Amino acid sequence: DAGVIQSPRHEVTEMGQEVTLRCKPISGHNSLFWYRQTMMRGLELLIYFNNNVPIDDSGMPEDRFSAKMPNASFSTLKIQPSEPRDSAVYFCASSFGTRGRGYTFGSGTRLTVV
Amino acid sequence: RKEVEQDPGPFNVPEGATVAFNCTYSNSASQSFFWYRQDCRKEPKLLMSVYSSGNEDGRFTAQLNRASQYISLLIRDSKLSDSATYLCVVNMAGSARQLTFGSGTQLTVLP
CB A113 within 8 Å of CB A86: yes
What residue in B sits closest to A40 (Cα-Cα)? B103
Find the residue in A nearest to B34 (Cα).
Answer: A102
Checking DSSP bridges between strand A42-50 and strand A65-71, what pairing results, if any? unpaired
Query: Could you give the CA distance from residue B101 to residue A68 in angstroms, rounded to a whole number?
Result: 23
Cβ neighbours around B21 below 10 Å, total: 22
H or E stretch including A57? none
DSSP B101: E
Contact residues for A110 (Cβ-Cβ < 8 A; gap 6+): A9, A10, A11, A89
User: Which residues of chain B neighbour A55 with C-beta distances below 8 Å?
Assistant: 96
Q: Give how far the C-alpha of residue A68 lies from the chain's centroid of Cα atoms, to the nearest Å.
A: 10
- Residue A39 clears pLDDT 80, i.e. is over it: yes
Q: If you average pLDDT over every residue of chain B, what do you get?
A: 91
**Using the beta-carbon criterion (under 8 Å), do B43 and A50 form an inter-chain contact?**
no
Q: Rounded to a whole number, what is the distance in Å from the CA of B106 to chain A's nearest CA?
A: 13
Percentage of chain B surpassing pLDDT 70? Answer: 95
Q: B96 vs chain A: nearest CA distance in angstroms?
A: 6
- Decide if pLDDT at B48 tops 70: yes
Using one digit for the tens of pLDDT, what is the confidence trace for A50-106?
999 998 898 898 899 999 999 999 999 999 999 999 999 999 999 986 555 778 999
Q: Which of B34, B36, B43 comes nearest A108 by C-beta? A: B43
* CB atoms A106 and B97 under 8 Å: no
Report d(CA B111, CA B16) in Å as an integer.
Answer: 9
> What phi and psi values does residue B80 have, to the nearest 5 degrees?
-55, -35
At residue B29, the pLDDT reads 83
Q: Quick one: closest CA in A to B5, which residue?
A: A42
Chain B, window 1-60: residues with a beta carbon less than 8 angstroms from a chain A beta carbon? 31-32, 34, 36, 42-46, 49
